[in-house]
Structure formats: C-alpha cells, structure tokens
C-alpha cells in the first residue's frame, strides 16, 4: 500500500518582505509631508513675484523655497488663559446647578412625605367613630374629644392647602 505525502509547506515571509509595507508607508508619509511644505516662487508676466503652494505654469522659470513658519499669535497665552477661565466657570456653574437641583429634589421629597402624613392625620381625625387616645404629661391615657379633633383637623387642612399640591 502506498502512502501519500504532501510536499507543500507554507513559507514564512522573510524579514525584508515583512518590512516592505512599513517602508512604503513611511515613504508615502514623508513624500506627503514634503509636498505639503513645498512653496514655489516665480515672476509672472506682469513682473510680480508670486509665492504659491501650487506649481507654476510649465513655461515659467520657478524655484522651490522653504516657507516660513506661521506667525506666532502674540495673544495666544492670554486667549488660552481666558478659555481655561471660561471653562472652569462653566464647570463651577454646572456643579452649582446640580447642587441646587439636588437640594430642591430633596426638599420636594420631604414636603411630599409631610403632606402624605398630614393627609393621613386628617383622615384619622375625621373618623369620629374611632376613639383617639393620647398620653398627657404624667403618662396617663387621655381620650381626644370632638372639639379638639375638629380644631386639629382644621389646622392640618390649612397647612395642607398652603404647602401641598392639589391631589
């Protein structure tokens, strides 16, 4: 019986072959940078000297010059300081607004709880068939009479009307 062997093997690329794409990319970047920095100088038909990043017409004698760096902004530091100050102010305003918002939310939650409690007390005081008992200063049980119920219920209703949303 004959055995079959495969003689094909995968060849690993050599280090030179692996470096070729990186070398091409680097060359393209250098060429693009050089092209972007190229400035042409020539004299036009009217005798004016022209500087441009675009090449001149082919029939005109020109030279390639190194463009000067862009002018520095003398107010750059002042502008940056102003921008940083405005940014910090916006951050402080946002933090202050968030704190005010949280305080207002907490106050609303507390007020709603107090309103719910007061409305429950009004219902309890309105149920005159239920005997209410309180303790006096000596710790003795004392029944709440109807006059006291009506007075306390009236006070609570005024408070609810002034402090709670209509429900």
Residue 32 pLDDT exceeds 80: no
pLDDT band at 16 (very low <50, low <70, confident <90, very high): low
Query: Both ends of the chain: CA-CA distance in Å?
Result: 97
pTM of full prediction above 0.75: no
- Find the mean pLDDT for residues 59-68: 80
Residue 151 pLDDT exceeds 80: yes
Instruction: Please check whether residue 7 lies inside any domain of the structure.
Output: no
- What is the reported pLDDT for 17? 56
- What is the reported pLDDT for 41? 87
Residue 131: give the domain boundaries.
78-163
Instruction: Please check whether residue 152 lies inside any domain of the structure.
Output: yes
pLDDT band at 63 (very low <50, low <70, confident <90, very high): confident
Number of domains in the chain: 1
Instruction: Please check whether residue 21 lies inside any domain of the structure.
Output: no
Instruction: Please check whether residue 84 lies inside any domain of the structure.
Output: yes
- What is the reported pLDDT for 1? 46
Q: Identify the H or E element spanning 76.
A: helix 76-126
Instruction: Please check whether residue 112 lies inside any domain of the structure.
Output: yes
Phi–psi pair at 9, nearest 5 degrees: -130, 150
Residue 28 pLDDT exceeds 90: no
């Amino acid at each position: 019986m004959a055995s079959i062997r495969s003689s094909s093997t995968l060849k690993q690329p050599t280090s030179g072959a692996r470096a070729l794409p990186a070398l091409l990319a680097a060359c393209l970047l250098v060429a693009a940078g050089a092209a972007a920095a190229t400035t042409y100088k020539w004299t036009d038909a009217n005798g004016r000297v022209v500087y441009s990043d675009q090449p001149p017409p082919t029939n005109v004698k020109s030279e390639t010059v190194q463009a000067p760096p862009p002018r520095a902004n003398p107010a750059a530091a002042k502008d940056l300081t102003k921008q940083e100050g405005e940014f910090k102010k916006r951050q402080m305003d946002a933090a202050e607004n968030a704190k005010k918002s949280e305080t207002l939310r907490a106050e609303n939650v507390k007020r709603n709880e107090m309103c719910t409690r007061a409305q429950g007390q009004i219902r309890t005081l309105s149920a005159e068939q239920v005997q209410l008992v309180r303790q006096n200063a000596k710790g003795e049980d004392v029944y709440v009479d109807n006059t006291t119920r009506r007075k306390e219920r009236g006070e609570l209703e005024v408070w609810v009307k002034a402090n709670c949303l209509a429900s």
